[in-house]
A and B are shown apart, each in its own frame.
Chain A
Amino acid sequence: GENVEQHPSTLSVQEGDSAVIKCTYSDSASNYFPWYKQELGKGPQLIIDIRSNVGEKKDQRIAVTLNKTAKHFSLHITETQPEDSAVYFCAAMPNDYKLSFGAGTTVTVRA
């Protein structure tokens, strides 16, 4: 099955700085890569996704990049704010429905 590895496990950044989270996947059949943000006590919230026919996608302060050859994808958050503090999960989908998640990155934005 698909194996997704996510780094780092924790990330502390100064407010206004950028945060980068990296993920690798194992199954070359994966063609859909969403990112979720989970705040304490809540469910994962889809924040951005990218499909295998696209190399980069941006939405305001967040962007994702995908390198299918190397089987890795990244989340970039620019101009971080305190409300960006949360746990972020990457995921990959090797078929049409089953998401395989990374272990998560706890992001703390210091004011």
Chain B
Amino acid sequence: NAGVMQNPRHLVRRRGQEARLRCSPMKGHSHVYWYRQLPEEGLKFMVYLQKENIIDESGMPKERFSAEFPKEGPSILRIQQVVRGDSAAYFCASSATSGTVAHEQYFGPGTRLTVT
């Protein structure tokens, strides 16, 4: 049973370019979360999505950042016109849909974005 998958694992972008990060949740999971981890820090919540719906994007910068989770395919975190401060590890997590286990979030290996 494959876990949460993320790609690419490493991404290098020049300032001003766009970064697209992809996340495929665990089989059977329909809730996706994105977190950002700066060096030497804990993870910070960015956005929570269900299929075709953004439930909570309160942790995501209002400009340049967007996220989607289409009916078919992976969830995408998109960062436009990247700046050096966007350099971080971006983690995706997923959880199941029903009952008490809905709280358990399982993380992918992350995408490490470096902006030069």
Contact A99 B91 (CB under 8 A): no
Q: Which of B59-115 contact A (CB under 8 A)?
A: 59, 91, 95, 100, 102-110
Contact A99 B43 (CB under 8 A): yes
Main secondary structure of the interface of A (DSSP, over half): strand
Interface mask (A39-78 → B, CB under 8 Å = 1, otherwise 0): 0001111100101000000000000000000000000000
Q: Does A93 sit within 8 A of B, measured CB to CB?
A: yes
Q: Find chain A residues with CB under 8 A from B41 CB.
A: 103-104
A-B contact count (CB 8 A): 59
- Cα distance, A34 to B56, chains bound together (Å): 21
Q: Does A89 sit within 8 A of B, measured CB to CB?
A: yes
Contact A99 B45 (CB under 8 A): yes
Contact A97 B48 (CB under 8 A): yes
Chain B interface residue number, banded: 20 to 34
A31 CB to closest chain B CB (Å) equals: 9
- Among candidates A32, A36, A103, residue contacting B107 with C-beta atoms closer than 8 Å: A36
- Cα distance, A103 to B43, chains bound together (Å): 8
- Cα distance, A36 to B104, chains bound together (Å): 11
Contact B91 A44 (CB under 8 A): yes
24 pairs, A vs B, C-beta closer than 8 Å:
A4-B42, A34-B104, A42-B109, A42-B110, A43-B4, A43-B6, A43-B107, A43-B110, A44-B43, A46-B107, A49-B103, A51-B100, A89-B42, A89-B43, A93-B103, A97-B33, A97-B55, A97-B56, A99-B43, A99-B105, A100-B45, A101-B35, A101-B44, A103-B41
